[in-house]
Structure 1
Amino acid sequence: MKAALQFAHYHVVETIYKNGLLEPDPDFTDPKFSFKLSLDKDNINHAVVWLSVELGNPSDEHYVKAVIAGFFRFNSEVITEETEIISYYEINAASILFPYLRSLVSDLTSKGESKPVILPTINVHEMMQNSQQADSTDTKTTDE
């Protein structure tokens, strides 16, 4: 049985690693994740998913940013509603890409004398729900 969501490949889009001489700020280990979905306007069954993480502040001596883009295809005769397909991309594609992002950050930060940053394993589904709730809360706040 073929999976509905097929992962074609991914690209490393951007990496930044600043490893200054001073000790990192305690907030340095608090990762900030972001997710972006871009659907092919002519064919919803093709999508690019961007997953990124930032640690620290870009103006600090210790800062890490990594962005990857995954290329996916959706192939299902059972699931045809656009909202369901988008949900598949949001949850499943992010879950597929996260280990690649996690590995990239560990590899990138292993260069030099500092201990590498190992991102924690996360519940991607919960992260996406929290992100969507925060987005809807922000929208409600700005509309009022």
Structure 2
Amino acid sequence: MTNNKPVIELEVYRITNVDFTVYDTIEELKELNLSSGEISASIAVDAESENARLQLSTVVIDEDNLRTIKVELTGYFVINEKTEAKKHLSINGTAILFPYLRSFVSILSSLDNSDAIILPTINTHGFVEAENPQDGE
């Protein structure tokens, strides 16, 4: 790369889906059979332009307070270096977006009661192969 621009730049992010549910009993919650805390990523790179989209989503199960939070956050990026764009998005893009996802879960859960849910930090190098990579969107 010959210029001083970063490899990718976040233009904007949006919270694209939220499902906050409180249950009456632990049995109702366990019947859902959900996995908690996994972060999934989906990447779409537009080969014709310098734009890309990265979606992060997670499901958080709080058995102590009988609630679940499902969140999907989408970031729209400018790609300044097309070489290994998906790799840069999966590692750097996730590192850029995850704090927003983490903060949103914490704020939303704290509005329900005083027990805020705080997601642990993650190692974004584990996202080299995003779960659902797609081209051309």
Identity of aligned residues (%): 28
1:7-86 map, 5 Å: 7-22=10-25, 30-43=36-49, 45-56=50-61, 62-76=67-81, 80-81=82-83, 84-86=84-86
CA apart distance, 1:112? 2.0
TM-score normalised by the chain length of structure 2: 0.75
Larger mean Cα displacement after TM superposition, 108-117 or 45-54: 108-117
Contact in 2 for aligned 1:5/1:75 (Cα 8 Å): yes
Q: Which has the higher helix share?
A: 1
1:129-144 map, 5 Å: 129=128, 132=129
Q: What SS does the aligned partner of 1:89 have?
A: helix
The 3 A distance-change label for structure 1 pair 17 and 133 is closer
Runs of 4 or more off by more than 6 Å in structure 1? none
In structure 2, list runs of 5 or more residues that go unmatched. Answer: 133-137
Amino acid at match of 2:117: V
The 3 A distance-change label for structure 1 pair 65 and 133 is closer
The 3 A distance-change label for structure 1 pair 34 and 20 is same
Q: What SS does the aligned partner of 2:112 have?
A: coil
Amino acid at match of 2:52: A
How many Å separate the matches in 1 of 2:37 and 2:57? 10
Instruction: Identify the structure with bigger relative contact order (alpha carbons < 8 Å, sequence gap 6+).
Output: 2
The 3 A distance-change label for structure 1 pair 86 and 133 is closer
Amino acid at match of 1:8: E
Amino acid at match of 1:38: A
TM-score normalised by the chain length of structure 1: 0.72
